[in-house]
């Protein structure tokens, strides 16, 4: 970013933290995190889905401001923020669940997860726990 940044310009960044925080802590949701991480970031060798599927210090959303400092940006001019997504109503959760299950039914996502080692049983756990 710093290399192509113009002194009169600005850099805007947004990144998520993995793994997501779920409540309740369900096996299928942790499996979902693992396959999302494996498909987006890199395949992990962590066998337990309850464990973070990444090495320490790779929580990218939490690290952007650190990387900006390391790249030489003036930290006094960096505006940092954070957000969260909460689904408090049954209707909002239902939309989120339907979208998640729809992605697993989609052959592209399902195939990618299977290529990463997901079994039919694992995908059933994900769907079951999304439905809870």
Task: Read off the pLDDT of residues 45-102 as tens digits, 9 standing for 90 and up.
Answer: 655 444 554 455 556 777 788 888 888 888 888 888 888 888 889 999 899 899 889 9
- Confidence (pLDDT) at 26: 86
pLDDT of residue 35: 84
- Is the whole-model pTM more than 0.75? no
Name the percent of the chain lying above pLDDT 70: 82
**Dihedral class, residue 117 (left if φ above 0, else alpha if ψ from -120 to 50, else beta):** left
What average pLDDT does range 16-25 have in this prediction? 72
Among 19-23, 30-34, 73-77, 96-100, the least confident range = 19-23
Say which residue, 123 or 17, is predicted with more confidence.
123
Sign of CA dihedral 12, 52, 102, 114: positive
- Whether 1 has a pLDDT exceeding 90, the answer reads no
């Amino acid at each position: 970013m710093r290399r192509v940044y113009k002194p009169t310009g600005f850099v805007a960044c947004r990144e998520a933290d993995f793994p997501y925080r779920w409540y309740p802590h369900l096996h299928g949701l942790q499996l979902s995190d693992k396959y999302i991480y494996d498909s987006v970031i890199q395949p992990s060798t962590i066998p337990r889905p309850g464990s973070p599927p990444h090495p320490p210090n790779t929580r990218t959303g939490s690290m952007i401001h650190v990387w900006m400092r390391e790249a030489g940006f003036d930290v006094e001019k960096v505006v940092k923020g954070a957000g969260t997504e909460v689904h408090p109503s049954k209707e909002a959760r239902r939309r989120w669940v339907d979208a998640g299950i729809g992605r697993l039914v989609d052959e592209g996502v399902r195939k990618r997860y299977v290529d990463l080692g997901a079994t039919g049983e694992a995908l059933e756990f994900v769907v079951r726990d999304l439905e809870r």
